Structure 1
Amino acid sequence: MAEYTINDVRGITHRRKRTIKISGLLSALLMLSLVFYAKPEPVYEAEVSLKIEKVTTVGDILLGTVRSGDHIATASVMISSFPVLRVVAQKAGLVPADLQPDEILRSSEYMAIIKDLEKAITATADRAGSNILIVKMQHNKPAMAKKLAELVAASYREAAYYERNQSVISEIKIVEDQAAKSRDQLTASREKLNEFRKSLELTTVTDEQHVILARYVERKNIIDNLGFKIARINDSLTTMRQAVNPEEDTRWVFTAGGTNTDSGSIQGSLNAALNDLRIKEKGLLHHYTPNHPEVLAIREAKNAIINQFIVDLEAEKKRYADEIKAVEKDLLETYAKLKGIPDAAKTYDLLSREVEANETLYNKILMKQQEVEVRKAELVEDVTIARYPVLPQVPITRIAFIGNLVVSLILSVIIGFIAGFIHEALDTVPRKLDVLAETFGVPIMTALTMWNRSEGLELVRDRYPGLHVDDALRYLSLPAHFLADSSLAEEYRAMVPNLLLTARENDIRTLAVMSATKGEGVTTCAANLAIALAQAGRSVALLDADFQAPKLHSMFGIDRQPGLSDVIMGSEDWDISIRRITDLMLGEIPARHLLAPSGLDNLYILTGGSKVENPANFINSQRMKDLISSLRDFFDFVIIDTSAILETSETSILAEKVDAALLLTEYEKLDRGTLVRFRSHLESLRVKVAGLVINKHKITTHQIEQEKLHKDTLIRFKYYLENLRGKLVGLTANKRKKNLS
């Protein structure tokens, strides 16, 4: 797998920016379309905070109702339980208010509503160790979300209040019912006594008769009290036997105000055991489902305790019934003695004693009611609303929607870069200079940078004001002379030492500049290389052997004829047809632009000449061979501009007549296959290769600015030197005058 440096990544990004942009844009459009298509329905969320404080009283400890466990975790589960959500649904109008719980459980429609409410609720602790429970309710309408959040908080608060204080509440209800019943009995007995007093005169009763009447009333009250207890036991037994869920539906039986208060220590121990099982069950339900074997085992144990309680109540009932039979027997004996007492006296005494008994019972109940009033102060409210919900303004789905948009854009950018790197991997065009050198098997002599045309023209016009566009383009194509202090000119001059060393080692005097395809810059490279050699003090002959598209004459602003084709045809001699600097000065380029910088006086140019029909025949002629030999003997170097070797045959013929070839390829133009074919073709011709030149390597705007800054710095430096030179000359003259005087 290829390893990329930061510069490689930067280069790939620059080269494949079009692929990256198009791929990223297309993927962004696709992903955004999917995001908008799957845009969720607006969902609003209302939040309410509940403060939960678990208070343990002495009564809880005595009754065995102290429960262990994480009350926040328990509350978070219970707040979405069926009892709470049933009340919420009925108060919100989602379920009819007159339906009983079992009717709702049997209805799939109403249970679906309860399930939807359960899914819409989330309850979590504010933070670890906090007693604040955050309850969130979601709905597609903001007002309904707020209303449901309020109802959930209120319903759970009521349910928690009742569950926490159910023993006290049940006892209060029982005492209030007994007080009302006793008050009615006392009022009725007093009314009977008053009516009897008005209807009859007062009748006296002896002490013996008084004792008999008192015994009769006492036995009758005992029978009534035992009958009341049996009735309570019957109610408890009926409730437990008809209960759907015995443990839940008979919970009041196992409280301080229930039947077990009169049942003795055995039922008290059963009550404590049942409470222990409840605590264990709730602890297991935090980790297991209701159908887990351990949970089912605990429920079976609870039902067994309830069944045992039923057996104990039956035994209690039988004992009370036996006591009633014994008291009734004594009552019959006492009643037989009452027959000897006058009816009026008996009735009056019985009514008086009934009033007295009812007053005693009522006073006891009033005392009990006062005790219950005191116990009301013990009622504990574990749940309070810490923060009420507010009307939500922004749907929570908008945040998810925006998140999806951001993720889509990020993924689009990533996909764009991936597509760019895939394009780079599939592209067979070499991008690294060392890969190009390895492909050709020769060292790179130089890499010529490619200038931005508009910025290059601006630089030329700064140095040569008033130039026409065509002239500026001509100057730009010959930077070795017209932009001699530029980095591109330095790159051409950097070729000279390498070329001279190679030429001396391999006796190279004639050099053909070749490329695989046309348009790679062979003519420009050949011309500037010739100028660089001439500036180095070498005499250089520059030949235009590109008969398909000769350009040297237009580049230097001279006539095309006579030229190379005319010399080969024999109509002209090469020493007459070749152009010198004086010929260039008579051409289209102003003489002042040719004289500085120096070096063009060592350059001799032989243009293409007349147009020929079959260039290959001319190149393959003996005269061409003799011409190259003559020029080789006369000049230090002969640089030949050629046509594309893979597109024409004359260059292949010419390659056999020169000492070596200088290969040129445009950066990032040819794929590896074309470059290999180029190399193979040269190897088949047995052409000696002097080196490789990479043309049109990238140059940045920053480098152009540096060229301008370099030029301005040179001008300022020259101006400073001229001023300094003038001052030195003036000082020297003044000193001489003083010496003469």
Structure 2
Amino acid sequence: MAQYELNLRDYWLIIRKRKWIIASTVLLVSGGTWFMAQFTSPELIYETSARVKFERSLAISPLMAETMAFSETGSLSTQAEIIRSVPVLVRAGRKLGVVNKAIETSGTRLPPDVLVKVYELRRQIAVSQEGGTNILKITATADKDEFAAALANAVAESYREENIVSRNRQVDEAKLFVEGQLKAIEESYRKSEQALVAFKEREGNVFLTDEARQALDNFTRLESEREKLVQVKREVTTQLQLLKANEALPETGPVRVFSDDVQALIAKLNQKLVDLTTERAALLINYTPKHPQVTELDARIRSVKQEMLQELEAKLRTFSQRESAIRDSIGRYRERYVSLPKAALELASLEREVKVNGDLYANLKQKHQEFLIRGAERIEEVAVLEPAVPSGRPRNAPKGTLNIVLSSLIGVLLGFVLAFIRESFDTSIGTIEDVEAFLHVPVLGVIPRVDRKEVDKALKETFSEPLDPESLELLSHISPLFDLKGIVAEGYRSLKVNLQFACQDRVIKSLAFASAGLGEGKTTTVLNLAITIAQDGRRVLVVDADLRKPAVSSRLGLKREPGLSEVLVGNAQWREVVQTAADLMLGKLGFDQVLSAPGVDNLNIITSGHLPPNPSEFFNSQRIVDLIADLEENFDLVIFDCPPILPVADAVLIGPKVDGVVLVYQVGKVGRTPLQRAKSLLENAQAHIVGVVLSNVSAEYSPEYQKHQYYKYSS
């Protein structure tokens, strides 16, 4: 089907005609938007941000080197998760008064009500990285501006405090351990000195030779070394047991001496293991244990543990070899004690115990001083760069003016759409008047659109015997043949009468029906008008002059050949190809259906016949002129069903050769410009345009004329 577009003038006319639809739509949309904004305003949400800088500390004092090492949790993505972790949020909740201050941030189990509050705070916190820097932006949202700012600042400060505690926790707890050991050793040292003083007061002076005293000094030194070595071995053994039990080295555990030798070997690996475990706990906030990042961390943790096991086992073997050598030396010196007096041996034992306790006490005092210095050198990797302040404006503040403007624009667009939809379905009296004013020709008839169910119902009422589907389809297009009282038959009778009045000033023996485009109901109009005229007793001939896409033969269930093309070629006379009521009875319409229809005897048909390659040459010849004249002498009215005007020139060639041309126009099918163009082509060819038939118009029942079964036509 050929498609045509409206021009700008047509669009302007439609807008002017439907201006009240557009105005009403704009008022409804903008008014509805204002109403929704006034009575369904969302809860205001405020948003503010604090910024913190995270910088991993790499320069540490020598005293810290044995317990501190570079951490692998320094990635900003990990730090972002730590900011939203439970310990940090518990601290922030305590500062805000949301969480009871008695709740410990390091507790492994929190009450359910506390967890609910913590998770609610987490939903209000978002963390993002500022570009490619090491600055993190902590964004807090809340229904109150002041609380949002307080929450962002509390989280930033809690993150800083948690980082300080985490990075200095081992030093703090080691200091507490040394303080406890220092008290115990001090008490042992005091008791050993008192025992030595009591012995000297009781026994007096005990004299030893220089050689015996040298042996006793060496024996005391070896015993002291063995005691230290035993304690170190005990610590290493405990660490090995913990690692083999698949546990990280605890920050507090069994009694142990913080030996430089032991800590220098495992401090870095121990801190690395703790950092990896912390990073794994942070990832488990949002991921499952089977997530690829978590499984990768698990593999690294196992690798670190295996390396620690190898280091500790190697050190334990070294300590065992040293202990065996010291024991051999102690055994050799012990043999020399046999010849020494008992008092001398007791004195040597007491002096050795005083010396060992004194050395341990001095060592612990030194370690305690070192840990005090470490406590003063606290590591701070987080700095608050910019505290949050109240934003002063909610994030989702209503934009009244903008909403009204946008809704008005949407209303205008929607109004245009509704206006054009309304215009496309417009079949009211005003539309008919517009057609007459636009084309300057009368509207001869309005053929209503009828629901197929009503046609089927009329067929069942008319014919007692059930019809096959093919007959139903054929009869549905020519309802005036059997439904004489239907609204379609009334429409065609009105067309017939108006056609007669329009032709009062001249004799009309032949008419050509044409349309601007395809599918406008031209063939249906021709057949039903011919049936209506035949029912008045006038002999009517329908000629299918569409030699490109003929439809008359298929609509009446007749043979297409021979037909008009054979007559124009000269292969047959027109009387030989005319088909009458007998052919209709023998065709697909059915004998009973045609026999029961009134006026069919007056209906004659010439089908298209064979489709030639050049139909236009036939209609531009003298043979078609002679044929029309001959047919006019033998029939009361000859009706030509012509092809569309705009796609081909056949109808324009036939128009001047008949007494009149009727345009068939389906409202909304084509634009006004194509319709005007079709009329202009006919007028240029000197064809006489009798009028226009509006086809397939929607019918609306008129209640005020219900008793008379009158109808009016509108959208």
The normalised TM-score by structure 2 is 0.48
Which has the larger Rg?
1
Larger fraction in helix: 1
